[in-house]
Every structure is written in structure tokens, then in C-alpha cells.
Structure 1
């Protein structure tokens, strides 16, 4: 532990502003030459000016030790490195939430990563038909895959599911009315509310039913000559329990079609496979919604599907064509890199028997608890050694979540390491846990965990990426030093 000067001990001399070199003089220092050669004169000069301005302020306050001046070249080197360090970085997700919205949601499969790399480094046929040698449509890269997997007549894609919903409503109900159950007027992350999306799309929202109960007759009574669309919204990020009633897509489709209206359903985090086959809670599938009579189905690419951020729109050809030709489509279209990742991810679904091996999202969701417990047992002693004597570590059973609004009331059995500050009482508990969380986030490969009942929990469900366990172990000496 570092202590300040004690009473009577000599105070280290402070540097004065005049002791600092000019930017030009600093850049002529032979120790700076490698920096200039590596990064160029302009960049190093900008960083040198910022560093000297900061040190000059410290010197004016008498807070710049004179001894620090000898390390000015090293300080400039560190500042240059810090300025060029990426802001978006890999992290280890030990929160227990598999699809963590703040940590990038789905981890891409190796096949998707490789296809993105291939399309980043060279020209590609984004909008070029290689068979015809003419201009093509970027939707064609994934449309046949989506139609084969879901059974849809046609498909198109945009940059996220909120955009898919916005575009679908604008194209099918702009300037007219869209009917939605009051119990489905959801708000998703970032305070985006369905009524606001409806208004932005230029449609008039017509609410039917009540918060907890909506009946088929409510939709029928609300249809007027101004009605353009009936809409269902999957309440994926909350659940209403108790005295409830809702109208399924299978019940609602005949009502819409009898009046010549399309039915659009938003599945949010829609899965393309039945999760129940692996003992997970079932989610509605686009395939089933289309079979039940929905004309348009929208869902996300980076949630249960396990791909990049994207909004997928599948359904009847006449309505998909209207959506595809709507002017807003160009502003919301998917760019080449997520499109490459999406195509590669969708190809994995052609081999469903291999999904739990090749698709990280499903691999993590179906990871056996026994494997996670064994990993926790392996990490217990090394972590305890790094944190003792300030913290105690134990293997603990845990409950995680799927995440990103998927099945919010369901939890996943898991295991991990629970870390508790060694204090005589509750006082200082929060500060000790915050210090540990900060030290974990400050590691070269940041570790993100969660606090639960006065302990820091490292849920290990997501620590199955190749080499990730070894990377965590390799950082423990730095963690020990940070907390000493």
C-alpha cells in the first residue's frame, strides 16, 4: 500500500511550468524519434501538446513532482498508445446473461466471422448478379435461405428489428389505421415505444381490448374503412399473468383476411428452431406464424437467431414487395458486412443437427451444467490465490438468463464463482465489491460480472469460447497486483 508523506518527512520538490520543454524541443528528443517514426509527426505533436498542457496545469498547482520530468518520453509514449487504443473491445461476459444487450448480444459463428473478413478485404458481389453479369439486389443474397427455412413466399432485410417494424407499418398502413391490442403496446430498450414507432411510420394507432384481456370481437368492432393493418406484438420482454386473454395469430388471421387486410406480427427475438427440443422454454417461430396465416412476420437477427444485428421480414410476396419498394427501405437497408454475416449464419440452419455445436448462441444456451460446474472447480484455487486475503471465493449454483428481452421470466441453471469481501461486518461491503468490479473491468481483457446478495458472481456459462479460460487465468497476476 502506498502512503503519503508522514509528518516531518521531506516533501519532494515540485517542477515549475518553466521546467517543462516546448513541444518542438520535446519532439527533437532522441527518445521520441521512434514514436514519430511509428505514428507520424502530426499525431505525436498533438499528443505532446495535450500532455504538456496537462502537466503545466499540475505544475501551476504545485502538484507535479520534479522527478517525473525524467519520464516525459515514457509518458508521451503511453499517451499515444492510449489514444490509439480501440474503444470497442473484447470482453469476457460472466454476467450469466447469454444475449446481453450491452455486450453485443449474439456471438457470431466462426463461419460468419470468416465470411465477413473475406468480404471486408476485397470487392464483392453485394449488388451484382454473377450469373447474369448485371446489377443485382442485395436481398437476393439471403432471401432464398429465409424462404427455405421459414416457408415464406418472399423476404427482405433491414438493419434491425425496430426498423423492420417501422418499415412494415409505414409501407402497409401509412396514412391509415393499424389495430393493436392495448396489452401489446410494448416499450423496448432505449425507451422506444410501439405507439411512437406507429406515429413515426405515419399510421394511426387504434388500441383494442384492455391491458390484460383482449378478445377477437375487439378487433372486429374496431375495423373501419380507414383500417389498413391488424398487428400482433410478441411481448418478449415482459409477461402478464393472472386473469388474462389474448387473440392468437391463428384466430386473428381469418378476421383480417375476411376484410381484405394484412396481418403483421412482430416476434422480436424470434427463434428459427424449437428451443423446447433442448429443454429450453419455447418461443414462437416465424414458420408457425406464417402457417397460422400471418402475412408479414418480423424478427431480429442478433438474438435467438444467433447472427448479426438485422431486422428480418418474411411473408406473402405481395406484401413483401410493397415493403421492399417503399422509399424508406433504402435508408434502412442492411450493409455488406452484417449481410455477409447473416448469410453465413442462415446457412448453418440448413444443417440443424449441428446447430448446438456450430452456432455459439445455441451452444451457450444448451451448455451442460455439469461442464460449467467442472470449470468452476478448476478456476476456484487460482482465483482464490489471486484474491486472498481480501476476498473469499466459493463455487456456487447460479441462475442466468437468455437475455435481450427473450423469455424474461425464465432462468437458466448455471454455476460459477461467488466472491465475498472479507470484512467484519456490512460496512464497506459496497466499496469493496465496486473496487473488485473496477479491477476486473480494467484488465487487458475486461471481465464483466454481476453483484448478487453482497457477492460478486462470475457466472461461467459463457466462458466456453476457445482459449477464454486460459486468458482469464493469465490475467490473475495483474488482478492480484491491482488489488494489493
Structure 2
């Protein structure tokens, strides 16, 4: 059949919309998007025919194309994936998972009105800071606290309130860059401070800070290099030394801890990370950290410190721009409450539970995953257990090799690259990694019930 004849076969938009299989989609998506999908299917088929690429102009074929397009249009952009990478705080996959109690708290305040800025005792307007301040103070020993929408905002706010128009002294070895090419010097510039970097990349001494102090110095800033380490011939000034120096010269001291920790990670066999409580006890005037990394809560920036410093931050104009919404506050409060019982926090906060899981536990989980894969896929794959390492992720614990046991998958009839792509593009999306020519599935980051989902996804990926 010639091209013109095929073009004349193309169905009309109205005819496709009247088909039962397409009309039924109006119950699941806006009609405007459905009409758009139908028109695009017709246009795409027409373009294929005109370009000589072939194409089926029958009503059924174009309808199938429209249904496929409609499904893509109806699909949310932000959706669930299965993380089989073993990277616990995976920035690209949403960082920390919320505890069940945090999810319930979000659901409660999202579905109804709340005490966000209302004091039920007085019947008057309240402050949204009250929902987490006392918890942060109790967990860290700080005099006062507040939370903003992320740690970058916390740093900007603190520097702006303490050092706008003044000098802020920081070690050159601590001029970190975080994800998305955001750099400490840029953040300081936006805060209105005049950055004075002292020392060298690998060595900074106390005298470097002291020699740089001037009457116009407004802040001594220490940045914890949570996402990298400089090793070898190095030296850094301890926070306690900076606090003593700041006290002698009347200059406040701030520490940006980055990922942020409320418990001693050495209990889980991980390297020590400075906790907020340790920095507060050492005498830092203000400490900032993230809420959604090692802490295991929602995206937030936690600020703890001296009463007069936090009071100044609360009154700063940027505080309103950086404030948390009710759902984030609900999740953060619920997460912090779990920390009141450290054992419960480790058991119920997914980030801590994953980090604390032992190699032996991972070996058992990997064996169950391998068995599920073999059962679902038969001899289409070889699924073998292998020792490997998981990562904390989220710009934290860069030197920590967390022992794990993975399932190394070798497909029989497709390349491992094709298999990885099919898993990634499937529903649900399964995100894995390739190493040594095999597909690695790390059970550390698989949730309850996801083993069977991964097995089913692998079977579909092998089928193409």
C-alpha cells in the first residue's frame, strides 16, 4: 500500500476518543492530556509514514500508541524507585527515608489544620520555632535552636546575622564544595560577609586565625569536611582552640557540621563524626547541620547555639524566607522525638537502621534475594553472593567502607548494560550498579517487601 493510502487510514481524534479503552482513561487523567496524547499518537504515526520509516496506521495500532503516551502523561514526575545501590543517603534518590512515625505526623498535619503558629493555651499567635526548639536543645545541650529549610540556608542565615559587612575567617582547607557546585566562598559572599581564608590546603595553624583577626572581624568559621578528607601531611585547628581564641578576642565561633549527627556512630563500627552536642559542649556559639542526611529526617537545616545568637537569627529578615513548612516541621519533630530513646532511634529511623546493619544481617538478606531471583528467572541469570562495601552517601563518611554482601547478577542472553537500563527504566524503577561486568544488588538499601519486587522486575527486564 502506498504512503498516501496509509495516511488516509489514520483515524480521527474523535474516533479514537470514543473507543472504550481510551475513553476509560478519562477516569484517571484530565481529558485535555488524553486528547493531547491521542493527537500526538496520530501525528507521530503520520511523521513515520512521511519519513519512510514505516508504521502501522490502523486504528488499533494508533490507539495503542495513544494509550502508551497517555500513561506517560498521567505519570507523576516524582515517583518511587527501589534503591539497590547500597548507598544509604543517596542524594539523587531522595536522601534519607522517613521513619513511620514521621510519615504519620506529616499525614496528620497535611490532611487538616494544625498548631503551626497557634498557641492553644493562650489562644493567640504562636511561633513555628517552638515545635522543634526544645527537642533540639534537649538532644544537643544548646541554649536555643531553630530549623530552616536546609543546611545551606542555615549557614547563609547564621553568617548573615553574625558577620554581614564584617570579616569571616575560615581555613583554606575547609572551603568545601557541596552537591550542585555550591561552594562555601559563594555562600559566604551571598551572606554579605568578607571572607578571609587562612592557612593552606593541607595545613592551618591557630596562629593563622589569630594573625588575621582585625577590629572588623565578625566571625571565626569552622567547616567540617564531611564529604571528603585530606590525609597525609595535614593539620587543622580543633574547635576547642578556636573557641578559646574567639573568647579572647570577643569574636563568635561557628561550626558548620554538614551532614550532622546526633549519636556516636562508633557504636555501629563506623568512623567518628563530630556530633552537634559535642560542638555545643566545646563552646561553639552556633552549630549548623542537615536534617536529612545522617540524622535521618526530612530536608532541613538545624541551628543550635547560644540564646542571644539564635534570637538574632530568628529576627533576621532571611529567617522568614528560609522557614520550614508544616509538613517538614511535623516530620522533623517526630524524628527528633525518636532520638529521645537512642535504641528506638536506631531501630526505627531507616537511615540509622541501614547504617547499623551488620555484614551477617546483609548476608542473610542477600541469600534471600538471590533465592528469589533464581526462582523468578530460572537459568536466565546467574545470581551469586559476593562480599562488597556499602556507602553512607549524602556527602558523609567518605572514608567508611561498610561491609556488606551483595547479589552479583550475570545475565545469560543480554548484556549487563542492557539489563541495568531495563531495570532502571521499568516500573518500578530499580536502581543498581555495575561492577566487574556484573550487576550488583546490595540488600542494605532494600526495604521490607522489595526483594520480591526486585525479582519480578528482573524477570520482566530479561523478557525485554
Report the TM-score range of the alignment, normalised by the length of the smaller protein. Answer: over 0.9
Residue number among 37, 41, 61 corresponding to 2:51 in the alignment? 61
SS in 1 for 2:398: coil
Mark the CA change 1:68 to 1:18 in structure 2 (over 3 Å): closer, same or farther.
closer
Picking from 327, 330, 333, the partner of 2:323 is 333
Match of 2:444 in 1: 461
Given that 2:7 and 2:57 are in contact with CA atoms closer than 8 Å, whether structure 1 keeps it comes out as no
Moved more, 243-252 or 469-478: 469-478
Query: Paired residue for 2:195?
Result: 205
Offset from partner CA, 1:29-69 (integer Å, 9 cap, x none)? 45543334554543322222222221221122243434643
* Residue equivalent to 1:156: 146
Partner Cα distance (1:29, 1:366) in 2: 54
Task: Tell me how far apart the structure 1 counterparts of residues 437 and 33 of structure 2 sit (CA, whole Å).
Answer: 46
Structure 2 CA distance for aligned equivalents of residues 418 and 198 of structure 1: 45
2:418 match: 435
Corresponding residue number in structure 2 for 1:478: 460
Q: Tell me by how many angstroms 1:120 deviates.
A: 1.1
SS in 1 for 2:393: coil
Matched residue, 1:315: 305
Separation (CA, whole Å) in 2 of partners of 1:416 and 1:174: 50
CA distance in 2, matches of 1:42, 1:210: 60
Question: What is aligned with 2:166?
Answer: 176
SS state of the match for residue 392, structure 2?
Answer: coil
Contact 1:269 1:299 in 2 (8 A): yes
1:20 to partner: Cα distance: 1.5
Q: How does 1:155-304 map to 2 (within 5 A)?
A: 155-304=145-294
- How many residues end up aligned between the 2 structures? 464
In structure 1, the partner of 2:23 is 33
CA distance in 2, matches of 1:373, 1:123: 46
Q: Pairwise mapping of residues 368-383 of structure 1 onto structure 2 (< 5 A)? A: 368-383=358-373
8 Å contact from structure 1 (residues 275, 281) kept in 2 = yes
Instruction: Tell me the CA shift for residue 418 of structure 1.
Output: 1.3
CA shift at 1:459, angstroms? 1.2
Per the alignment, residue 432 of structure 2 pairs with: 449
For the 8 Å contact 2:3–2:50, the answer to whether it is kept is no
Instruction: Specify the SS of the correspondent of 1:16.
Output: helix
Is it true that 1:362 corresponds to 2:352 in the alignment?
yes
Please tell me the root mean square deviation across aligned C-alpha atoms, in Å.
2.1
Q: Does 1:121 align with 2:74?
A: no
Partner of 2:131: 141
Q: 1:239 to 1:14 in 2, by over 3 A?
A: farther
2:42 alignment partner in structure 1:
52
With over 3 angstroms needed to count, the CA separation of the structure-2 counterparts of 1:202 and 1:126, relative to structure 1, is same
Retained in 2: the 8 A contact 1:107–1:361? yes
Moved more, 100-109 or 57-66: 57-66
Q: Give the TM-score, by structure 1 length.
A: 0.91
Per-residue Cα deviation, 1:362-412 (whole angstroms, up to 9, x for no partner): 111111211211222223244246566664331101111111111101110
Distance 2:81 2:30 in 1: 31
Verify the 8 A CA contact 1:395 1:417 in the aligned structure 2: yes
- In structure 1, which of residues 309, 324, 346 is the aligned counterpart of residue 336 of structure 2? 346
CA contact (8 A) 1:216 1:251 kept: yes
Task: State whether residues 129 and 135 of structure 1, in contact with CA within 8 Å, keep that contact through their aligned partners in structure 2.
Answer: yes
Cα separation, 1, equivalents of 2:7 and 2:57:
14
Q: What is the CA–CA distance in structure 2 between the aligned matches of 1:76 and 1:422, rounded to whole Å?
A: 34
Unaligned runs of 5+ in 1: 1-10, 424-430
Report the alpha carbon displacement of residue 297 of structure 1 after superposing the two structures with TM: 0.0
Distance 1:41 1:359, change over 3 A: closer
What does residue range 72-91 of structure 1 map to in structure 2 within 5 Å?
72-91=62-81
On the 8 A contact 2:372/2:452 being kept in 1, the answer is no
Whether the aligned pair in 1 keeps the contact of 2:255 and 2:288 (CA below 8 Å) is: yes
Aligned equivalents of 1:300 and 1:336: distance in 2?
Answer: 18
Give the Cα–Cα distance (whole angstroms) in 2 for the partners of residues 209 and 113 of structure 1. Answer: 45
Structure 1: 4+ residue segments shifted above 6 A: 11-15
CA separation in 1, counterparts of 2:251 and 2:126? 31
